[in-house]
């Protein structure tokens, strides 16, 4: 048989118009086949593995899948009680202004779908580049299914760039027919936002052992308080004499009907230094909560709305039980109840999967970033103030094994002013790899995220964590600390094999900060009291925040030596000199990845696509 490669081509050349005609005919045929297929049955659950309710009542349910080869997300939106249309989209922080939107609307007779954007005043405009691609729509007993596709990057300046980290999804319900897209009044819509991690990592699920057991840490039939936000604490305990096991997986257990109210959950293990902990079942901020519960802070599991089951790598498990491990656990549930439902009962929690057959390595959790101290502060009125914490080469050289460690998951953490968090691995003065980054970080959406690829860290490496804060709504300085109106900058990295190093963080040298306060006194009319009895927060609060004082503080944090905390689990530092340490010198930065633009489809009319649904409301 003659090879096709050696045979000369005798095909007639096709004109560009004919090629384009064939292409669009095939696309149209594909859409017809897809819509016809959807008329017969609902899409399989496995086609859209990720799911989240968009609204508190659960009337809007979003499912999606991620195609990394196509660099695209496929969405399935279930609208249970359709009225006259819907806005769905993405924006920087969940605003309806400057948003990237897919819009379904009806004029009372016909239905339309289009890609749109909103300007700074909230006015809607049809996008000249239609990048929300409608794939199909169908009615079903449970509501209307809408299927559409969106590339990660479109290179359209009006479009949102879908990237790793948190995505703020927004929705708005049209309760009246509208004659055109431009007639939609965003301010009058019933709408809201939901935060998700759209770009889930494509990770294979490890095989689970036959002797695996489960344990549910759940709230005991709690009546959810009729207020918007509640943090509920419940104490549980392991059986007496519970031996060492490995947690190898966990998943949420959410009471049916409460999917839109259970925002996130965490299970903490208590400190082993106490023989017992009091029972408690109530609000975490209640005055009745025993103070000793504050010593239950070692994270065993964390879940947030939209997250799937969490799997440990097949070589490692998280140890719990046995000598030196507390039997006491604290479950914390964040209830988000904006519609103030009354009398809802809940028994949600987390199901742990564990095994007595220990895996080769214990997994560990290490804190990176900034020490919880007021010497790190953010002036008021800042839109993007940056603070950086260091895990230096000196600490990793001393504390990590020669073969290094492997980071497989990460949980970023700030308080209310945090807007961005990133941790970068540096080696020999060169940034090598991003460990975890969230450019749209929200303190209201914190989960342990499995990394797309395991990060190897060796002795002598540096881990640099940078947080960006916004304090435009504050009138005085925000200092570091444990209070919700104070700030943190932390990355809890999950790794194996476990080492003695539990905390690798830094803060500016206190002596240099004292010099800063002296400098402010010299150059300002208002004197800051440097008396020993005046605390660092009080000194920050008394600073007149002019441009000079702001710029000098930024400069101080960028060059002053640091106090390193290279700590063991006992909270004792590794031996060595850790004060007045120089900042790591970075000679080569990672390049910001540019957007990958899909092939240009050619000029497209900025017009909505008609939908064969007739009147939306029935």
Task: Yes or no: say if 302 and 333 are a contact pair by the CB < 8 Å rule.
Answer: no
At 526, the pLDDT band (50, 70, 90 cuts) reads: low
At 593, the pLDDT band (50, 70, 90 cuts) reads: confident
Of 540, 525, 386, 401, nearest to 467 (Cα)? 386
| CATH code assigned to 203-359 | 2.60.120.310
* Residue that wins the pLDDT comparison between 355 and 9: 355
Give the model's pLDDT for residue 524: 73
Q: What is the mean pLDDT of residues 417-442?
A: 96
Give the model's pLDDT for residue 290: 94
DSSP 187: G
Q: Which residues pair with 466 in a beta bridge?
A: 388, 422
Burial of residue 104 (CB within 10 Å: 0-12, 13-18, 19+) is buried
Q: Which residue has the tokens 């980054």?
A: 437
Task: Supply the mean pLDDT for the chain.
Answer: 88
Radius of gyration of the chain (CA): 27
Task: Give me 512's structure tokens.
Answer: 């240099």
Please list the alpha-helical segments (H only) found in 177-218. none
Between 126-135, 289-298, 476-485, 522-531, the lowest mean confidence (pLDDT) is in 522-531
Give the model's pLDDT for residue 614: 55
* Residue that wins the pLDDT comparison between 527 and 147: 147
Task: Give me 565's structure tokens.
Answer: 């905390």
At 600, the pLDDT band (50, 70, 90 cuts) reads: low
Backbone angles phi, psi at 504, to 5 degrees: -135, 90
Give the model's pLDDT for residue 177: 92
Task: Give me 374's structure tokens.
Answer: 């007021």
* Residue that wins the pLDDT comparison between 383 and 20: 383
> What does 38-79 look like in DSSP terms, one character per residue?
HHHSPPPGGGS-EEEESSTTS-EEEEEEEETTTTEEEEEEEE
C-alpha of 122 from chain center: 26
Is residue 603 predicted with pLDDT exceeding 60?
no
Backbone angles phi, psi at 583, to 5 degrees: -65, 145
Is the entire prediction scored with pTM above 0.75?
A: yes
Domain 365-592, second-level architecture? Sandwich (2.60)
Residue 415 in 3-state DSSP?
A: coil
Task: Give me 526's structure tokens.
Answer: 């208002």
At 446, the pLDDT band (50, 70, 90 cuts) reads: confident
Q: What is the mean pLDDT of residues 443-469?
A: 94
* Residue that wins the pLDDT comparison between 44 and 577: 577
Q: What is the set of active-site residues? A: 231, 413
Whether omega before 497 lies within 30 degrees of 0, making that bond cis, reads yes
Q: What is the mean pLDDT of residues 561-567?
A: 97
Is residue 41 predicted with pLDDT exceeding 50?
no
Q: What is the mean pLDDT of residues 11-25?
A: 40
Domain with CATH 2.60.120.230 in the chain: 365-592
Domain with CATH 2.60.120.310 in the chain: 203-359
Q: What is the mean pLDDT of residues 436-458?
A: 93
Is residue 378 predicted with pLDDT exceeding 60?
yes
Is residue 45 predicted with pLDDT exceeding 70?
no
Q: What is the mean pLDDT of residues 353-369?
A: 95
Give the model's pLDDT for residue 25: 39
Residue 152 in 3-state DSSP?
A: coil
DSSP strand pairing (364-370 vs 501-508): parallel
Is residue 617 predicted with pLDDT exceeding 80?
no
Q: How far apart are alpha carbons 300 and 403 in whole angstroms?
A: 26
Task: Yes or no: say if 454 and 406 are a contact pair by the CB < 8 Å rule.
Answer: yes
For the stretch 487-518, pLDDT in tens is: 999 999 999 999 999 999 999 999 999 999 98
Q: What is the mean pLDDT of residues 292-307?
A: 86
Q: Which residues pair with 125 in a beta bridge?
A: 117
For the stretch 566-585, pLDDT in tens is: 998 777 899 999 999 999 99
Give the model's pLDDT for residue 124: 95
Give the model's pLDDT for residue 530: 61
CATH fold, domain 50-200, is Immunoglobulin-like (2.60.40)
For the stretch 106-145, pLDDT in tens is: 988 889 999 999 999 999 999 999 999 999 998 899 999 9
Give the model's pLDDT for residue 567: 94
| Torsion angle defined by CA atoms of residues 410, 388, 404 and 266, in that order, rounded to the nearest 10 degrees | -20
> What does 331-358 look like in DSSP terms, one character per residue?
EEEEEE-TT---S-EE--EEEEEEESS-
Task: Give me 540's structure tokens.
Answer: 């920050």
Helical pair 510-523 and 547-559, crossing angle rounded to 10 deg: 160
Domain with CATH 2.60.40.1210 in the chain: 50-200
Cα separation values, 569 from 198, 405, 407, 458, Å: 35, 17, 18, 20
Backbone angles phi, psi at 519, to 5 degrees: -65, -40
Give the model's pLDDT for residue 358: 96
Give the model's pLDDT for residue 83: 86
Backbone angles phi, psi at 141, to 5 degrees: -55, -35
Q: How far apart are alpha carbons 403 and 410 in whole angstroms?
A: 21
Is residue 14 predicted with pLDDT exceeding 60?
no
Mean pLDDT is highest, among 52-56, 259-263, 280-284, 597-601, for 280-284
Give the up-direction half-sphere exposure of residue 111: CA atoms within 13 A in the CB hemisphere: 20
Q: What is the mean pLDDT of residues 357-382?
A: 96
Residues near 465 by beta carbon (within 8 Å), at least 6 away in sequence: 368, 369, 370, 388, 389, 390, 391, 421, 422, 423, 489, 490, 491
Is residue 534 predicted with pLDDT exceeding 90?
no
Is residue 2 predicted with pLDDT exceeding 70?
no
Is residue 3 predicted with pLDDT exceeding 90?
no
Of 115, 110, 90, nearest to 197 (Cα)? 90
Is residue 32 predicted with pLDDT exceeding 80?
no
Task: Yes or no: say if 432 and 426 are a contact pair by the CB < 8 Å rule.
Answer: yes
Q: How far apart are alpha carbons 304 and 445 in whole angstroms?
A: 7
Give the model's pLDDT for residue 202: 87
Give the model's pLDDT for residue 221: 92
């Amino acid at each position: 048989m003659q090879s096709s490669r050696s045979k000369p081509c005798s095909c007639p050349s096709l004109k560009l118009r004919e090629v384009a005609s064939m292409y669009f005919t095939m696309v149209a045929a594909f859409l017809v086949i897809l819509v016809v297929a959807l008329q017969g049955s609902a899409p399989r659950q496995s086609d859209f593995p990720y799911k989240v309710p968009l609204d508190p009542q659960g009337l809007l349910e979003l499912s999606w899948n991620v195609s990394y080869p196509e660099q695209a997300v496929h969405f399935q939106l279930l609208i249970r009680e359709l009225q006259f249309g819907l806005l769905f989209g993405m924006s920087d922080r969940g605003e309806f202004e400057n948003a990237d939107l897919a819009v379904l609307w009806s004029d009372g007779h016909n239905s339309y779908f289009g890609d749109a954007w909103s300007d700074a005043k909230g006015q809607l405009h049809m996008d000249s580049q239609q990048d929300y691609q409608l794939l199909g729509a169908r009615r079903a007993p449970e509501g209307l299914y809408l299927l559409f596709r969106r590339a990660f990057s479109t290179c359209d300046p009006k479009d949102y760039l879908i990237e790793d980290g948190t995505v703020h999804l927004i929705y708005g319900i049209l309760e009246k027919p509208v004659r055109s897209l431009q007639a939609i009044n965003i301010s009058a819509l019933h709408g809201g936002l939901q935060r998700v991690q759209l770009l889930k990592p494509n990770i294979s699920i490890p095989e689970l052992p036959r002797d695996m057991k489960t344990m549910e840490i759940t709230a005991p039939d709690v009546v959810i308080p009729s207020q918007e936000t509640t943090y509920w604490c419940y104490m549980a305990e392991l059986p007496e004499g519970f031996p060492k096991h490995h947690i190898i997986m966990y998943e949420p257990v959410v009471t049916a009907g409460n999917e839109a109210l259970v925002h996130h959950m965490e299970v903490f293990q208590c400190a082993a230094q106490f023989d017992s902990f009091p029972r408690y079942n109530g609000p975490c901020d209640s005055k009745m909560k025993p103070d000793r519960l504050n010593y239950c802070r070692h994270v065993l599991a964390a879940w947030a709305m939209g997250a799937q089951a969490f799997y440990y790598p097949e070589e490692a498990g998280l140890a719990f039980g046995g000598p030196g491990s507390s039997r006491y656990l604290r479950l914390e549930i964040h209830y988000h109840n904006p519609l103030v439902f009354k009398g809802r009962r809940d028994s949600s929690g987390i199901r742990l999967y564990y095994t007595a057959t220990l895996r080769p390595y214990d997994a560990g959790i290490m804190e990176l970033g900034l020490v919880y101290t007021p010497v790190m502060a953010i002036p008021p009125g800042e839109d993007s103030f940056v603070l950086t914490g260091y895990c230096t080469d000196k600490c990793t050289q001393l504390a990590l094994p020669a073969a290094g460690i492997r980071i497989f998951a990460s949980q970023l953490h700030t308080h209310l002013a945090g807007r961005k968090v990133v941790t970068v691995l540096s080696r020999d003065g060169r940034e090598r790899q991003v460990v975890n980054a969230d450019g749209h970080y929200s303190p209201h959406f914190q989960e342990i995220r499995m990394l797309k690829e395991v990060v190897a860290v060796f002795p002598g490496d540096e881990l640099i964590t940078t947080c960006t804060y916004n304090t435009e709504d504050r009138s005085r300085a925000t200092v570091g600390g444990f209070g919700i109106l104070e700030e943190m900058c932390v990355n809890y990295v999950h790794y194996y094999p476990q080492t003695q190093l539990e905390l690798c963080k830094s803060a500016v040298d206190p002596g240099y900060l004292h010099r800063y306060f002296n400098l402010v006194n010299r150059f300002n009319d208002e004197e800051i009291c440097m008396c020993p009895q005046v605390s660092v927060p009080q000194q920050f609060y008394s600073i007149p925040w002019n441009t000079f004082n702001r710029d000098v503080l930024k400069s101080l944090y960028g060059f002053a030596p640091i106090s390193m905390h290279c700590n063991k689990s006992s909270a004792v530092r590794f031996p060595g000199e850790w004060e007045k340490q120089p900042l790591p010198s970075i000679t080569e930065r990672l390049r910001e990845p540019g957007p990958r633009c899909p092939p240009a489809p050619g000029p497209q009319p900025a017009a909505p696509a008609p939908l064969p649904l007739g009147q939306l409301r029935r």
